[in-house]
Chains A and B, each alone.
Chain A
Amino acid sequence: MELFGIWVAALLTLCIYSFLYQDNPFYRFAEHLYVGISVGYGIVLSIHQGLIPFAFKPFWAAVTGESLIGLVKLIPIGVGLLFFARLSPGHTWLIRYPIAILIGFGSGVAIPNVLRANIFEQTRGTIEPFAAMHAGTLSGWGVFEAVLMVVGVVCTLTYFFFSVEHRGPVKWLSKVGIAFLMIGFGSAFGNTVMGRVALLIQRADFLLGDWLNLIS
């Protein structure tokens, strides 16, 4: 059975890799199989990890009188059912309520966290090394890093001013900012490519080792 699994995995890997040449029936077969299986798996997962434990079980416990707190679940269940309103053309507008709740909730949770983690904490992190510089505990390299960080943040931030025309000093600051961005992206690119090469090696190892037994 294990051998059968290895053969299926190897052949599907080759089917997917055949896309590197061009679109072909083997790729299409693997693509449709992959999409179909993932949808089926996702539906079963949603039923078992979402619908049953979070909606059906508490609701059933409330119906049987085991725990009345489950009745509270009627509210999200009712809101969720509004998604089906789009099946009735005259009531499609009702779908806007669950969408509004979802987007409102998502934004409400995300915005304070983004402000805290991405803005306030990073600003503090940029300033803090200067306290060590004042105390004289920062090495020469540390001073260079701290100054470079402030210059980079200030210039990059300038690039993201949209309601100010980028000319004069603003233009030059934003040009330096975009240079900092590109250096950062280059570094991230190299880092991620290394990760992807590791994935390729892993797959080649599977094909040549587990499947063809050419390498041990």
Chain B
Amino acid sequence: MRKTIRCLLVYLVLCIGISTAFSQGLTPPSNVTAMDTPNDDGSSITIKWEAAPERSSISGYQILRRIAGGGLEEIGALLPAGTTTYVDSSIEKGSAYAYVVRAVTETEATVDSEETAPAKGTGELFHTGKIPLFIAMILFSAGIVWNIYYARSGKEIFVRRIPGLEAVDEAIGRATEMGRSILYSLGLGRVEEVPTIASMTILGQVARRTADYETPLHVPCRDPIVTNVVREVVRTSYLDEGRPDAYNEDNIFFLTESQFAYAAGVAGIMTREKPAAIFLQGQFFAESLILAETGNSIGAIQIAGTDSEHQLPFFIASCDYTLIGEELYAASAYLSREPMLLGSLRGQDWGKFLIFVLMILGVVLELAGVNWITTLLQRVS
């Protein structure tokens, strides 16, 4: 009898021990919180919980969501073990959601956490994480504004020689002497894109000279809004030169928005009109070589410029002069010599010099085991 009781006691102790050991894997996720994701437009809620102990047999987590008055529903896929955060981006703004984090073991046993308090997604007007970037922008802008005032005060600002831009007058003069037109393409960029804006400033300067020389200027555009802006830019240039009569609005026209249809159209215009000078300035993609090669085949003097690094090689190979990357942005200041643009150019050089110093300093400090610059750059970006 005693032996039987002893055996039963040992069995009971073993059962308790084994079940305790296994129950470590079924500990429910603790400290589960749901809160509005900071610095967003209110379209997500972030759920956080504490990681399960290392020895647990949890193989993943499933998030469940309850909208006020509704039942629990599973959202998203099973999250891997070790995950402690989930961002629910499938919410409706203004609705409150409560969440449960379900731990799933390798044997597919589950245990649920307590339900969180309901949370709503709310949008923020300011992204606090971008304050360092904002400060960097302010400092950068301050440098540019200071230089603009410096230039406006009448002080001379040096701009180095840019060969492609020195050829602008040569190209326009050649077209005038030959009695042929000039073709200017702004590429495929939209009006709000920086290369298009830069290209329009160059076009303004080119149009001033064509107004003086009475050389026809053709501008086929890919975007209807760009067409309108270009007409304004060219018309203003002709007015500034006192030649409104020479301005022909029909020469600035919308062609098509389709990339290769635009390329086919411009190539056709090139072969039929045979312009003596071609300007390809702005944002270009795969059509760059079609345009540049066609221009080359008709013997036109070609001046290209883009910041699309994948198209620059084609322009360099097929055009007479190419403005590389930032030279496109510097072009307007170089051509116009306007104090505002010159000051802005010098301000940008200051910015580049700062990056130059930060890089050298950063390398030296990293080699010495100090990572201040990297941390600073990490915060700013």
| Chain A interfacial positions (CB closer than 8 Å to B) | 16, 19, 22-23, 27-28, 30-31, 34-35, 37-39, 41-42, 83, 86, 92, 95-96, 99, 102-103, 105-107, 109-112, 114-117, 119-121, 123-124, 126-128, 130-131, 133-134, 150, 153-154, 157-158, 160-166, 181, 184-186, 188-189, 192, 196
Given A31-B264, A120-B377: A184 and B359 interface contact (C-beta under 8 Å): no
B106 at the interface (CB under 8 A from A): no
Q: Are B137 and A112 in contact (CB under 8 A)?
A: yes
| Chain B interfacial positions (CB closer than 8 Å to A) | 130, 133-134, 136-137, 140, 157-160, 162, 190-194, 197, 225, 228-229, 231-232, 255-258, 260-262, 264-265, 267-268, 271-272, 286, 289, 309-310, 312-314, 316-317, 324-327, 330, 333-334, 345-346, 348-349, 352-353, 355-356, 358-360, 362-363, 366-369, 371, 373-374, 377-378, 380-381
Q: Are A127 and B366 in contact (CB under 8 A)?
A: yes
Across the interface, B159 reaches (CB within 8 A) one of A111, A130, A131, A162, namely: A162
Q: Are A19 and B267 in contact (CB under 8 A)?
A: yes
Q: Are B352 and A160 in contact (CB under 8 A)?
A: yes
Q: Are A163 and B380 in contact (CB under 8 A)?
A: no
Chain A's closest residue to B190 (CB) is: A106
Across the interface, B359 reaches (CB within 8 A) one of A41, A107, A114, A153, namely: A153
Q: Are B366 and A134 in contact (CB under 8 A)?
A: yes
Q: How far is the CB of A87 from chain B (nearest CB, A)?
A: 11
Across the interface, B268 reaches (CB within 8 A) one of A28, A115, A126, A186, namely: A28
Given A34-B261, A34-B264, A154-B356: A163 and B349 interface contact (C-beta under 8 Å): yes
Across the interface, B140 reaches (CB within 8 A) one of A106, A115, A188, A192, namely: A115
Given A99-B229, A103-B192, A164-B349: A115 and B261 interface contact (C-beta under 8 Å): no
Describe B's contact surface by its main secondary structure.
Answer: helix
Q: Are A164 and B158 in contact (CB under 8 A)?
A: yes
Instruction: Collect the chain B residues with CB atoms within 8 Å of residue A30's CB.
Output: 264
Describe A's contact surface by its main secondary structure.
Answer: helix
17 contacts between A and B (CB under 8 A): A34-B261, A39-B257, A96-B232, A106-B190, A110-B193, A110-B194, A130-B363, A134-B369, A160-B352, A162-B348, A164-B158, A185-B313, A185-B316, A189-B313, A189-B314, A189-B317, A196-B286
